[in-house]
Each structure stands twice: as structure tokens, then as C-alpha cells.
Amino acid sequence: MTDVKESKEALVALVILGKAIADLAKDGLDLGDAVSLGSKLVSDEKFRTALVEGVKGLDKVGPELKDLAASEALELLGAVYEALKA
């Protein structure tokens, strides 16, 4: 059984980024939305930290998922669920 810390952080970062983009895309996407996303990245420390942590260990995600145990899969699903709720 491997640790799934990096996979969890990557999934949470994807959910957080996806939620931010979905919020910006409610009225369609344009260049202003990219600027807004950049501003959020600069001004929102929690957002920035989640994204940085999510990409920092991407090279370890594959090995973590290679022999994923059921308990680890549930841990990852739980992290995604919590990120979606937030």
C-alpha cells in the first residue's frame, strides 16, 4: 500500500480550479475571465496554496495510483467530495 498524499492534493487542486473556472464561465468565457483567474491566484492564498501543492508532486501521482488499494481509493473519493462541498 502506498501513500496517496500527492494524488489527493492533485485531485483537490483540480476540483478547486474547476470550481473557479465554472464560476467564471456562468456567463461565458472571455479574456476577462482569465484575468480574474490570475487575480484570484495572486490574491487568494488558500486557492494559490492548493494549486501549488497540487502540481508540486505530480511526478509521484502515477506510482501512487499504480497499486491503489480500495481504502486509498475511498480516501481519494472523500477528498474530492470534501473539495466539492467547500
Give the pLDDT mean for 14-27.
95
Give the pLDDT mean for 7-30.
95
Domain with 9, as residue range(s), is 5-85
Contact partners, residue 1, CB within 8 Å, separation at least 6 = 67, 69, 71, 72
Is residue 6 classed exposed, middle or buried when 0-12, 13-18 and 19+ CB atoms within 10 A define those classes?
buried
Q: Can you give the pLDDT at residue 2?
A: 55
CA angle 37, 85, 75 (to 5 degrees): 105
- Main-chain phi, psi angles of 76, to 5 degrees: -65, -45
- How confident is the model over 23-66, as pLDDT tens digits? 999 999 999 999 999 999 999 999 999 999 999 999 999 999 99
Q: Can you give the pLDDT at residue 1?
A: 44
Please give the distance of CA 23 from its chain centroid, rounded to a whole number.
15
Residue 86: band (very low, low, confident or very high) from pLDDT cuts 50, 70, 90: confident
The total domain count for the chain is 1
